[in-house]
Amino acid sequence: MLFLRLKLVILCGCCLLASAFNVIAQSKNSKIASIENQASLSSTAQTLALMPFPAELSLKEGKFRLATSSAIQIQGNPHQRLYSAANRFLRSVGNNTGLHFGQKHLTPQDTVLLPSIFVNCKRAGKVEFGENESYALTITPEKITIQAETDIGAIRGLSTLAQLVTSDADGYYIPVLVVNDKPRFPWRGLMLDVARHFFSVDIVKRQLDLLEAVKMNVLHLHLSDDQGFRLESKLFPKLHEMGSDGQYFTQEEMRGIIRYADERGIRIIPEFDLPGHSTSWFIGYPEFSSGSTATFGGPYKLERRFGARTNPVMNPIKEETYTFLDGFFKEMCELFPDEYFHIGGDENNGRQWAANPDIQAYMKANNLPTKEALQNYFNKRLLGILTKNNKKMMGWDEIFVEGVPKSIMIQSWQGKEALYKAARQGYTALLSHGYYIDLNQSTEFHYLNEPLPDSVKLSSVEAKLIAGGEATMWSEWVDKDILDSRIWPRTAAIAERLWSKSGQNNVVDMYRRLDAISMLLEEKGSTHERNVPVLLRRLVQSPQIPFPNESDVKPLQNLIEVLETVKEYKRGQLLGTQNYSTFLPLTSIPDVVRPDSRTARHFRATMKRYLQTRTNPTLAEASEADKAVLIRHLQLWKDNHTPFVRLLETAQRLRDLEEHSLLLSMLSQVSLDALSMLENNIPATAQWKEITMLLILRAKQPRAFTEIMIIPAVEDLAKAVSGK
């Protein structure tokens, strides 16, 4: 305590609060402290944890017992991919339950002696837009049946079945029930930006496993941008050789990714972003840029910064550009089987066009008065190339200009209005606005981002043109160690928004199910939880603590568990464009901290519930249990500052967190006091209110690019004790 007091005085600006804090600390109520450790944060009801939740489900009495003898029989006219899916199902359930199934590896040639899981589909599905993914799942105590039109529907049924496996004292079982399920939207995807940070084949395949688990059916790869060109071109090898720092997919690797996706009923959509976001193309081929000098504005270098809108842009007035793109897209259209091809089209600032006299003259001569008109001319030429190669064109909002052919698809990132406008004019459109998972927003925020709210008036034909949506994982702030923690588990909730009925939107229930799904995703390989200790150890490691153990990292862990990284574009703004760049190590505090802090969320919910129930005698027991949970947390955070400060003696990189740690401790102390005052019906003094208000105000400021997420709970409590 003495140490804590000294630190309080040292931290400038906190002095007033610090001295007041000491007064409050001494008046701590010991009665409250004595009832800590009496309850856990949440009582996890043993109910179904499906995500996305099926369209129709009817739960009955009874259990299908899983045993080592449980065996799958595939029937009907399946594609080979259903056998792979069934084998994955067996291995995954085996890993989760420890059951060593007698059935080893299913092939069409096997005869299954006593099957109890029947998977039946009428025809081989096609991994393409709009394919039938519906299925029916019937579970009785004796057998399980999946019935589907296509093997892709059957694979979706297997994903549901995997989520239903649960346990009791007698072992593992699947509850008896009937499911009739189909997706609400046919396009449910994840966009992964492999250009700003590159991700290896294994990491991409891992995402495909995870997407399959939550029934998503599109992986959109953003393959080129100012910072990198990430796919081998045999025709124009200087693209990947000079535009990637050696970090690119070979075509053979890409074929492997496409095959892997196909086995899971997932489409791969390639995106090459043009005409802007294209610096990486011009390292090897400056002649296709819009630079007007003898060197075409070059020599070009890979862009290392983010957030600065760089100028290089494809030259739309040269026929040579289209000859080049004709060859390039032909090569890529042959590689990628999907009918859709994404050409980007976003954020072209047009500066290079404005500075090039030839381009300006061309615009005048051809009645193209604006950069948008010129870009539209470019897009139409690209559309011709893609159409010739039997592809449909898609792009971001910016490609949607008056008069573009109805065959294109618009991906809306700037706002929903553009989405509805596109649909009203007869265009197919996808929603990504509100699904930007790089912006550190809560799962709830994304979950409630309804593509078709009641307030929007669209005819049924127009509504059908909203094909679905994509979570967008832009990669400025992610590398291999933290990628999964930004995608998962939040994307599972987006998957539900796009698969399940619009009325499936209870946030509390979503979070309950998300916890279970998070574990399932771990089993499928996601590193969103398991990498945290690795990152924490790295932050704490020093010559004095060469291999930090759990207790060494605990004070840091306690603190970061209630922090979230600043949201939206704030981190880049705080950092400035010079430092906001490709090689910034993503191993520091805001990287280790994860979006949507589970601990803080539970704490806020517990506080709300406690304040609502504390005067209700019929809920006295539950309310006491909630209070005990609150106290246990507050005590932990209050006492965490001293060991945290001790860590700073060796862990330099944590210094920026010192004030957060202190403020968390102080917030916890005033909260303990407030609980005590409530308990004893003692009204808050004017001095207490003033101090608490100042403290909250100060604690709300971001530090180390992170924010303390229990503050709303402290505010609720302060209001209650102030009689508001």
Contact residues toward ligand ACM (CB under 6 A) are: 346-347, 396, 413
**Among residues 225 and 479, whose Cβ is nearest to ligand ACM?**
225
Of 264, 288, 253, 259, nearest in space to 274 by CA: 288
What 8-state DSSP symbol labels residue 436?
B
Alpha-carbon span 14 to 17, nearest angstrom: 5
Q: Which of 320, 334, 347, 550 is catalytic?
A: 347
**Among residues 396 and 427, whose Cβ is nearest to ligand ACM?**
396
**Among residues 475 and 500, whose Cβ is nearest to ligand ACM?**
475
C-alpha to C-alpha distances, 553 to 86, 532, 535, nearest whole angstrom = 41, 11, 10
Q: How far is the CB of 218 from ligand ACM (least distance, A)?
A: 16
Alpha-carbon span 38 to 624, nearest angstrom: 9
Alpha-carbon span 564 to 442, nearest angstrom: 10
Tokens of 133: 């993914």
Amino acid residing at 174: I
Q: How far is the CB of 23 from ligand ACM (least distance, A)?
A: 51
Q: How far is the CB of 347 from ligand ACM (least distance, A)?
A: 5
Structural element, H or E, at residue 72: strand 72-76
CA count, 13 A, side-chain hemisphere, 61:
0
**Among residues 347 and 690, whose Cβ is nearest to ligand ACM?**
347
Alpha-carbon span 180 to 159, nearest angstrom: 14
The Cα angle at residue 511 between residues 510 and 515, in degrees rounded to 5: 115
**Among residues 191 and 521, whose Cβ is nearest to ligand ACM?**
191
Q: How far is the CB of 411 from ligand ACM (least distance, A)?
A: 8
Please give the backbone phi and psi of residue 30, each rounded to the nearest 5 degrees, phi first. Answer: -75, -20
Q: How far is the CB of 413 from ligand ACM (least distance, A)?
A: 4
**Among residues 371 and 627, whose Cβ is nearest to ligand ACM?**
371
CB 660 within 8 A of CB 559: yes
**Residue bearing tokens 């603190």:** 559
C-alpha to C-alpha distances, 301 to 284, 305, 310, nearest whole angstrom = 10, 11, 11
**Among residues 334 and 347, whose Cβ is nearest to ligand ACM?**
347
**Among residues 151 and 193, whose Cβ is nearest to ligand ACM?**
193
User: Does 347 qualify as catalytic in the annotation?
Assistant: yes
Q: How far is the CB of 568 from ligand ACM (least distance, A)?
A: 12
C-alpha to C-alpha distances, 540 to 479, 550, 705, nearest whole angstrom = 20, 11, 18
Tokens of 178: 């009937």
CB 82 within 8 A of CB 510: no
**Among residues 346 and 372, whose Cβ is nearest to ligand ACM?**
346
CB 156 within 8 A of CB 182: no
234: which residues sit within 8 A by CB, 6+ positions away? 251, 331
CB 225 within 8 A of CB 504: no
Q: How far is the CB of 444 from ligand ACM (least distance, A)?
A: 22
Cis peptide before 286 (omega within 30 of 0): no
Of 654, 551, 637, 643, nearest in space to 600 by CA: 637
Using a 10 angstrom Cβ sphere, with 0-12 exposed, 13-18 middle and 19 or more buried, the burial of residue 410 is buried
Question: Measured at CB, which residue is nearest to ligand ACM?
Answer: 346
CB 634 within 8 A of CB 647: no
Q: How far is the CB of 596 from ligand ACM (least distance, A)?
A: 21
Q: How far is the CB of 399 from ligand ACM (least distance, A)?
A: 11
CA count, 13 A, side-chain hemisphere, 697:
9
**Helical axes 598-613 vs 507-523, angle rounded to 10°:** 150
**Among residues 397 and 673, whose Cβ is nearest to ligand ACM?**
397
Q: How far is the CB of 305 from ligand ACM (least distance, A)?
A: 16
Q: How far is the CB of 191 from ligand ACM (least distance, A)?
A: 9
Cis peptide before 555 (omega within 30 of 0): no
C-alpha to C-alpha distances, 79 to 209, 264, 308, nearest whole angstrom = 19, 11, 48
Round to the nearest angstrom and report the end-to-end CA distance of the chain: 32
**Among residues 195 and 268, whose Cβ is nearest to ligand ACM?**
195
Q: Which residues are catalytic?
A: 347
